[in-house]
Chain A
Amino acid sequence: MRYIAIMHLEPGIFERLSDAQRAELDANTGGFDRDLQAQGRYIHAEALEGPASARLVRVRKGAASFTDGPYIETKEQMIGFIMFESRDLNDAITTFADHPFAKLGAVEIRPTFDPAVPPPL
């Protein structure tokens, strides 16, 4: 099954780390991705620019509007995601319990939608 791990971190958390801590974190997150790749489970991952760079697109009654945002007052922001293969939900959870961001913030595990097999005739 395919899952997405969505990384949530408090804004500004990277800035508070020392250079050495930063380097270690980079090595560890990179190492995590390589582990997934070596197991043939890695599909795709992206880190995102900060929420301040986001634009919201809405179409209402045929008219489009483009606004800044979302300036939601949440403590943790989505900063990136990894799409990966796992045997099941437990496998996905235990895999990401080892991810450095699970310690720094939170990792949200979501199965991708798997349309049910249509009933036979």
Chain B
Amino acid sequence: MIDIDRIYRDERGRVLASLIRLLGSFEIAEEALADAFLAAARDWPKNGVPANPRAWLVSAGRFRTIDRLRQTKRVRPLTTDLERHLQSEPAPPEPEAEPIADDTLRLIFTCCHPLLPQDQQVALTLREVCGLTTEEIAAAFLTKPPTIAQRIVRAKARIREAALPYEVPGPQQWPDRLDAVLQTLYLIFSEGYSASRGDEVIRAELCLEAIRLARLLRELHPTADGDGLLALFLLHQSRARTRVDANGDIVLLEDQDRAFWDRDLIAEGTALAQLAFATPPISRYTIEALIAATHAAAREPEDTDWRRIVGLYDLLLEAEPGPITELNRAVAVAMRDGPEAGLALIAPLVEGPLSGFRLAHGARADLLRRLGLKDEARQAYERALALSTQASEQRLIRSRIADLA
């Protein structure tokens, strides 16, 4: 049995990125991508999966587009641009020889072009690089699909009109462009680590792709911020096997089986985080990586160095001020100094900027539970439950409420 769904999940992003570069258009590349997978669904069951499915798909998509262009010339007057593009380009070498490896990176640099407003960059990246649908992005940002559709259409039109190249820019442009690219990789990893859509909590292929790209970025142009980001990814990835149980439910950090944490990734991530920490200014990624490294260093939850973690959150509050950082710091303070100390810090957040944030109510509920204040804890859990939209999270909160009875 050929698992074409899995191949689609694993290869879609990189095949699309290559097709966008080869065909010079998002829209036509997407059509070519659909054609390529359709061709694969017909061909592979008969002839077997080719040795290099990605190259096969890129090549099938490209040639089908050229065929379609010949057949439907009159139907699609819009394709004249493409025709010109294909004619002006010297024929690219055979797919096997192409440097497919960094087409995704090229695409990210294009999606993050400073000419595009940030909300457009984000929507475009989530759709084109992460493969989310318009409807899923809208759900994640609590907006309507036509709003997101408009942002994506505008961003693509802008890229077309300004003829932005699909390329990784030269070294002199990196300082201006790197922040947006790192932020995008962070977004890709986050989407994989805790998916905003439906049934699956983790989309492993996105985490692995973010790590691959962060490594590639580091080879091309090592920076302290890039090191910090890669360190953060590796340290989170080291816990991937223990984060979800057999039922697909989230397992909290304190309940994870630490024997299954990946020690190689922890060692590599910790070393990189320390390297990045030695080069000021220290980015938020580096500080977050050091927090993750501190958790990773504890063989048992009781061994966690909460003093150090609170200290790192103090630093993070300077690099990344905001109520979410304050909430995380408050939870760490509760672990260091006891639940009352944490509650005192969380109360103003829950009544203020984070009143609609489910995790703030959840964190407060946990602390109330630890103090034995069952009724207040239950009320706080109920509020968290009302704000939660994810099935596995809702199950977790319900089980906490049941434990209180």
Contacts and interface: CB of A to CB of B under 8 A. Distances in A.
Contacts of A40: 38
Given A39-B35, A88-B133, A27 B149 contact: no
A32 B198 CA distance: 33
A93 B198 CA distance: 24
Interface string A19-34: 0000010011001100
B38 A87 contact: no
Contacts of A53: none
A62 interface: no
A97 interface: yes
B149 to A, nearest CB: 5
B61 to A, nearest CB: 12
A28 B134 contact: no
B30 A120 contact: no
A48 interface: no
Contacts of B127: 88, 90
B162 interface: no
Contacts of A28: 74-75
A80 interface: no
Contacts of B145: 88-89, 111
B152 interface: yes
A68 interface: no
A35 interface: yes
A120 B134 contact: no
A117 B72 CA distance: 40
Contacts of A91: 30, 134
Given A1-B135, A24-B74, A98-B78, A39 B34 contact: yes
Contacts of B134: 88-91
Contacts of B251: none
Contacts of A24: 74
B149 A93 contact: yes
B245 to A, nearest CB: 16
A18 interface: no
A28 B76 CA distance: 8
B38 A97 contact: no
Interface string B119-153: 00000000100000111100000000110110011
Nearest to A114: B135
Contacts of B133: 1, 87-89
A74 interface: no
Interface string A95-121: 001100000000000010000010110
A111 B138 CA distance: 14
Contacts of B394: 119-120
B81 interface: no
A110 B166 CA distance: 33
Contact of A35 (B72, B74, B148, B391): B72
A114 B262 CA distance: 41
A111 B72 CA distance: 27
Contacts of A39: 31, 34-35, 38
Contacts of B72: 31, 35
A32 B75 contact: yes
A88 B135 contact: yes
Contacts of A87: 34, 133
A89 B135 contact: yes
B149 A89 contact: yes
B27 interface: yes
A5 to B, nearest CB: 14
Given A39-B38, A88-B134, A120-B391, A27 B74 contact: yes
Nearest to A97: B78
B397 to A, nearest CB: 12
Contact of A31 (B35, B75, B149, B153): B75
Given A27-B75, A88-B135, 18 more contacts: A24-B74, A27-B74, A28-B74, A35-B72, A39-B35, A39-B38, A40-B38, A87-B133, A88-B133, A88-B134, A89-B133, A89-B135, A90-B149, A93-B149, A94-B30, A98-B76, A98-B78, A120-B391
14 contacts: A24-B74, A31-B74, A39-B38, A88-B145, A89-B135, A89-B146, A90-B149, A91-B134, A93-B149, A97-B78, A98-B76, A98-B78, A119-B391, A120-B394
